[in-house]
């Protein structure tokens, strides 16, 4: 990846959700990369400030949902002087195709970046058919 260009500020998008929450909290949409290799689909999400314990990844009815919660107690005792971004939880969901082997999903969280590797189901993998 070319890293010579200057990074631009990306607006933190607030999550617009149909479902309602019982506790008022701000949710943001994490910036996400999704790419596909021959045997897996990889989802990379930026969740700055989310601890491993505060991360929730689940698949229900073919919908992958990632929710990361921020520990607001870290900001206690601090007076904001100048702010440029909002702090809030993260949530995002994706509808998966049925090509995914739902038993083989691995997740890795490093430096605020979550990498989900969703292995493709065997029947969805490209197969070479030998002609006899």
Q: Which residues bind other proteins (CB under 8 A)?
A: 1-11, 31-38, 42, 44, 46-51, 75, 77-85, 87, 109, 111-113
What is d(CA 100, CA 103) in angstroms, rounded to the nearest whole number? 9
Please name the residue that has the structure tokens 């520990």.
71
Given a contact cutoff of 8 angstroms between Cβ atoms, the answer to whether 94 and 64 are in contact is yes
Please report how close the Cβ of residue 132 comes to other proteins at its closest, in angstroms: 30
DSSP state, residue 18: S
What is d(CA 15, CA 99) in angstroms, rounded to the nearest whole number? 27
Please report how close the Cβ of residue 123 comes to other proteins at its closest, in angstroms: 19
Please report how close the Cβ of residue 60 comes to other proteins at its closest, in angstroms: 21
The smaller minimum CB distance to other proteins, of residues 31 and 93, is found at: 31
The smaller minimum CB distance to other proteins, of residues 59 and 88, is found at: 88
The smaller minimum CB distance to other proteins, of residues 36 and 56, is found at: 36
Please name the residue that has the structure tokens 């989802």.
43
């Amino acid at each position: 990846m070319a890293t010579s260009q200057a990074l631009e500020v990306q607006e933190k998008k607030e999550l617009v959700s149909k479902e309602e929450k019982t506790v008022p909290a701000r949710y943001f949409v994490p910036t996400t990369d999704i790419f596909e290799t021959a045997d897996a689909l990889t989802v990379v999400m930026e969740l700055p400030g989310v601890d491993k314990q505060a991360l929730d990844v689940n698949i229900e009815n073919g919908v992958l949902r990632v929710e990361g919660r921020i520990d607001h107690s870290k900001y206690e005792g601090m007076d904001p002087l100048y702010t440029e971004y909002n702090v809030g939880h993260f949530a995002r969901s994706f509808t998966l195709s049925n090509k995914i082997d739902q038993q083989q999903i691995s997740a890795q969280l490093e430096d605020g970046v979550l990498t989900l590797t969703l292995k493709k189901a065997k029947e969805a993998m490209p197969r070479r058919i030998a002609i006899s």
